[in-house]
Structure 1
């Protein structure tokens, strides 16, 4: 009975996250300019998994694949990062023109040291980024990303993180270009990405 109540709470939390994300995404889509300008620019100042402070300017001239998640994520995050790794591998020479970034929405647990253990498992030169809770909150809002702490007794620290799960693509000027929803195949992401790079 206790397990059923806990499962129901988690499901309600996930449903709320989905609704809020859809509302945020609608606001974000409506913010797109009719003259073809990007809906928003990638802007951040975060610490990478080697302890260096990074901003979007560090990636000027390169496409960015950006995903928000957390290292204790049981499915969505590792699946998406694995897909990103496949995409980067299959880009061949064009891989030098793209940089994948993983931004943690769980800064309490995801220290640079923790990300240094987690992110390299996926290869593909993915950079893990974290910061203070306030800075992560500001960054997530600027990307129209929703996340929430969800109590879960069996999870490390007694909680998990519910979050929106799109993979973002930003152009070499850090302008938003495209996004893919969770469970989009590496083949589809690769095909789309190659099309953008060739433009």
Structure 2
């Protein structure tokens, strides 16, 4: 077992051990920030942005056309939800086998002040290498969060430090960029896997 794989399973073990706490923290801050699966809505969930990935490469939402996408919002200083979710996504990608190569998993940081490409790159070493991290200027991060109807708020914790309160669901998009639903930590892993398999089975 490689160090990367060991870390993934460690995060899953943490998720199981702290399931009650994580389940409570997963809930979106309010219903107005929670997306629905109604793709006929006049206001699309998802849209254009200009960010950079963990290698410093410019990336836009259009770059992810052609394959299904799973989008998660978080930050590298997150003590629980973010590493647990990324660990579970890494295990899910493993479970999907060769199919997983078609799924693009994207983490958009809500903490661009601290999450430089270099920091994101180091952080993502603990997870599946197919997971892409995005960051950028505050204005572009705001634009991305707004486009995806996601929520973030900087919360001071004392001594000049802070945390980020943010939407924590995993948003699914089809090959054409259409919103296709969510994955929720309250769901069994098998349920989440079947959702992704259905998404992968839909042609453009």
TM range (shorter): 0.7 to 0.9
Q: SS of the residue aligned with 2:126? A: helix
Name the CA distance, whole Å, in 2 between partners of 1:82 and 1:173. Answer: 27
Deviation at 1:39, TM superposition (A): 3.7
Q: What is the match of residue 95 of structure 1?
A: 100
Q: Over aligned residue pairs, what C-alpha RMSD do you find?
A: 2.3
User: Contact conserved, 1:83 with 1:185, CA < 8 A, in 2?
Assistant: no
| Structure 1 range deviating more: 83-92 or 184-193 | 184-193
User: Contact conserved, 2:75 with 2:109, CA < 8 A, in 1?
Assistant: yes
1:140 aligns to 2:112 (yes or no) = no
The CA deviation string for residues 2-60 of structure 1, in whole angstroms up to 9 with x for no partner, is: xxxxxxxxxxxx8xx723xx1233xx5497427xx994344222100001001122222
Q: SS of the residue aligned with 1:159? A: strand
Q: SS of the residue aligned with 1:136? A: helix
Higher normalized helix content (fraction of residues): 1
Q: What is the match of residue 33 of structure 2?
A: 24
Q: SS of the residue aligned with 2:180? A: strand
Deviation at 1:185, TM superposition (A): 4.1
Deviation at 1:187, TM superposition (A): 2.6
User: Contact conserved, 2:70 with 2:103, CA < 8 A, in 1?
Assistant: yes
**Residue among 169, 176, 183 paired with 2:172:** 169
Name the CA distance, whole Å, in 2 between partners of 1:160 and 1:24. Answer: 19
Q: What is the match of residue 154 of structure 2?
A: 149
- TM-score if structure 1 supplies the norm length? 0.80
User: Contact conserved, 1:29 with 1:39, CA < 8 A, in 2?
Assistant: no
After superposition, residues 44-123 of structure 1 pair within 5 angstroms as 44-123=49-128
1:137 to 1:84, Cα distance in 2 relative to 1, 3 A? same
Larger Rg: 1
Residue segments in structure 2 that go unaligned for 5+ positions in a row: 1-24
- TM-score if structure 2 supplies the norm length? 0.78
Residue segments in structure 1 that go unaligned for 5+ positions in a row: 1-13
1:38 to 1:120, Cα distance in 2 relative to 1, 3 A? farther
